[in-house]
Amino acid sequence: MTCSLCCVINKMDQARTPNSGGCCNFPVSRTSWAPFNLFACCGVGILIYMALVDLIAVDFTTKRFRSSLSLQAGSYISLLAGCAVMAVIGIWA
């Protein structure tokens, strides 16, 4: 991962050939950069989503959580507030 990131940052504006001794498997042609990055971002997004679902599911499936209406309300409100804040940050960024 670090190697790919170094190649992207250090060689963004340099035209490379397949035998140029590059440090990663980043696409050689500039037209293939967009699909490559799109699929990479989608893959990372899916991994982050799955990790967050696994973390949240543990808290939301306990007996203590299911038996307390105030805990459920507070948790759902906090979850939705966090989603809203992340959406605002995403729009701003």
Compute CA distances 61 → 18, 35, 89, 92, whole Å.
Answer: 51, 38, 29, 34
* Rounded distance between C-alpha atoms, residue 17 and residue 19, angstroms: 5
- Token pair 């190697």 is found at 3
Tens of pLDDT along the chain (93 residues)?
445 555 555 555 454 444 444 555 666 677 778 888 888 888 888 998 898 888 888 888 889 888 999 999 998 999 899 989 989 998 887
State both tokens at 13: 């504006």
* Rounded distance between C-alpha atoms, residue 14 and residue 61, angstroms: 52
State the pLDDT at residue 8. Answer: 53
State both tokens at 8: 């992207």
State the pLDDT at residue 10. Answer: 53
State the pLDDT at residue 13. Answer: 44
